[in-house]
Structure 1
């Protein structure tokens, strides 16, 4: 729609308001409603939004260790520029108009703390190199027959899953509560988040969805809107959806695998495909894979951002632990899917469902481009068989603290994302680890209370 058509739609909409949102560092959408009149005055300008958005954690507790904002700055308003290309209607809210925005700093330039601005920057670098990145992210998540109130009352223990038992790809179970599943598929598509596939995954009440591929920024928009939209649609049915990477030690974790390919600037040719290669993989694709393998230990917090992330990245839990790649192998970090001229792509399997899509896609793309820029040869052979046992090229950092220190000290991370972003982001991850480290857990009480 043109600017004039958008404005006309909003003026004619009976709600007389617009919903706007931005993504914080954890991938949580923070937003508000504004009047149609207010929107008309800022739609091609700027709107004020308190910069505490990048000064607190997921629990709204203010960081005490970042420079961008804090008590030392007085938490002023930052500027948000709405992206009119993200216009969509929210079908479960009477088609209220909705927009995403980008944070600017106080000099009206892209804020180094803004995840969407970071992905814009890396997308531009790819385009300047002659590439059009196409990406998609798929998600697994648990669904519980609970409300926020009942889950809090239970202390998040003994929650009732939407369906019992382990039943992946179940036609039977997907018919139980089919109204919810059908609403997910239909309403998400109407919301501009086109779903290619939706099914039950192994685990009680677990679903998996594949989102249609798109240019990388649009793909990240779709992914972040998917996570919030699923939760909002679930609320309608008295259901809580969680995208935690590992809900239970006894159950598989939840992935957020990223699929990616590079095309020519006219989107006519998949540059990862090579007919003459025995595996149908171009040298460009091999450079891209080599770049990711090389960079993964330096950027891991961007694709495993929480304490909980690393409880998914354990042997035998359908998530990788080693620096490996393979062809159609689900036990490695990078799963190459060559063959078709249209569908040849790379799947980064380290990524969990708890990620900020803007940061996860930024990490994958920047690392792959690093391999192309530096012409890194894919000398590491493809892993065949069990990738968990292939330790020949190293393993991933095993917790958030270890991974954060590696990224914080990495010149590669700073080259890829800029020193200011790396400093801010790693400080937020240090904060996250500090909050975890001071908590006395149920495990400690059960293990030590009586015996020690």
Structure 2
């Protein structure tokens, strides 16, 4: 049934017109459905351009060229992508349409620029993002009032693959699977993860831009349903030092028409693949330091990279090896590369754009990957390590000629400034760790 019929029949009364900011948050307006039809599909809409210059508390920050007080914080124009129209099953008679912004710095624009290059070459990228989250019995307001301390996780033990504990949270996760499926986000499965109250729900793979859109809807659904039930979820990369981090494993392959071009007869260690598979893997690994903040965009992101914690700490690849930053899985048509570096806090448009640009640079320049690693990569101290901090990662990003070439100098300058501001905000904060360590002891 098309949008006009849904609105005429009274099945849709509200349409959220949205876009995604630096942090991957969905921002926008709620339109009366009939007024939306009259104005937005052809004319678009306008939002204040300060929305791509704010911090987490929505304060407009200084130093951005795209929008500032001197320019008066005007509007930017948004074009609705009607292909993204979907009913939000968990909201009352509400649909969502995602928009593109007339700005190269917008996250969705950055990914679309990379996919256009690929499509112009006759290919498309298929991708999936495996998102982990922690579920708490405390609601968001209660968690805030408690200073996010001593929250009650949905499980009191490590629930990885445990059906019993999964059953105990089915009042939440069954609703999520159903709502997402009815909202155009097909679900494969869900399971407990290696943390107290940690869970994973796997969304079916799709074309990379569609997958990034699904990722955004997924997060919005979990947050809003948890809130409606008096619970809360977090996608922090490392919510507690004693618990496993939450990841966003990215699966990616390149297709031409209905064929996965990664499939091939060349023997690469235990893997049979094509030249394109090998070169894509080589480029993806090589360029991690160039684009690391797009995988790990917050100060907290880097707390996740701990040896023996299921999070990768070194740049290497292996076949079906969860200690690897790049885990190759599948065979034949299902052959794909899983990058385990991004955390659940990543912006999917930026992480997918970084992955695709890196891999295709490998294909275009025939970049060979390092030798396959067999064994415990955590113990391989000779391998290059992922960055230790956002400051370190951003310093490399700023200097990267590769990043400037594939994204443009304007994009690199804009996001480097954003990451600088995140680091400065942390550097000026007094943390609980400091109070516990340096307050006079008795």
Matches of residues 55-70 of structure 1 in structure 2 within 5 Å? 55-70=53-68
2:97 is matched with 99
1:65 positional shift: 1.7
Match of 2:141 among 139, 149, 155: 149
1:362 is matched with 353
Whole-Å Cα distance in 2 between the matches of residues 260 and 367 of structure 1? Answer: 12
1:348 is matched with 339
Q: Secondary structure at the match of 1:280?
A: strand
Q: Does 1:180 align with 2:176?
A: no
Whole-Å Cα distance in 2 between the matches of residues 330 and 15 of structure 1? Answer: 44
Whole-Å Cα distance in 2 between the matches of residues 165 and 14 of structure 1? Answer: 43
Whole-Å Cα distance in 2 between the matches of residues 17 and 448 of structure 1? Answer: 52
Alpha carbons 2:267, 2:273 under 8 Å: kept:
yes
Match of 2:367 among 367, 376, 382: 376
Q: Secondary structure at the match of 1:73?
A: coil
Q: Does 1:18 align with 2:3?
A: no
Alpha carbons 1:11, 1:36 under 8 Å: kept:
no
1:204 positional shift: 1.2
Q: Cα 1:393–1:175, aligned 2, differ >3 Å: closer, same or farther?
A: closer
Alpha carbons 1:10, 1:18 under 8 Å: kept:
no
Matches of residues 239-318 of structure 1 in structure 2 within 5 Å? 239-264=231-256, 266=257, 268-277=258-267, 279-318=271-310
Alpha carbons 1:281, 1:338 under 8 Å: kept:
no
Whole-Å Cα distance in 1 between the matches of residues 7 and 98 of structure 2? Answer: 16
Query: What residue ranges of structure 1 are gaps of 5+ in the alignment?
Result: 105-110
1:451 positional shift: 6.1
1:163 is matched with 155
Whole-Å Cα distance in 1 between the matches of residues 101 and 221 of structure 2? Answer: 22
Whole-Å Cα distance in 1 between the matches of residues 321 and 106 of structure 2? Answer: 34
1:72 positional shift: 1.8
Alpha carbons 1:138, 1:257 under 8 Å: kept:
yes
Q: Does 1:114 align with 2:109?
A: no
1:54 is matched with 52
Whole-Å Cα distance in 2 between the matches of residues 417 and 391 of structure 1? Answer: 32
1:225 is matched with 217
2:30 is matched with 33
Q: Name the TM-score, length of structure 1 as normaliser.
A: 0.94
1:81 is matched with 79
Query: What residue ranges of structure 2 are gaps of 5+ in the alignment?
Result: none
Alpha carbons 1:25, 1:113 under 8 Å: kept:
no
1:14 positional shift: 5.6
Q: Secondary structure at the match of 2:105?
A: coil
Whole-Å Cα distance in 1 between the matches of residues 12 and 219 of structure 2? Answer: 25
Alpha carbons 1:336, 1:345 under 8 Å: kept:
yes
Whole-Å Cα distance in 1 between the matches of residues 439 and 329 of structure 2? Answer: 50
Q: Cα 1:225–1:15, aligned 2, differ >3 Å: closer, same or farther?
A: closer
Q: Does 1:329 align with 2:321?
A: yes
Alpha carbons 2:156, 2:197 under 8 Å: kept:
yes
Q: Secondary structure at the match of 1:156?
A: coil
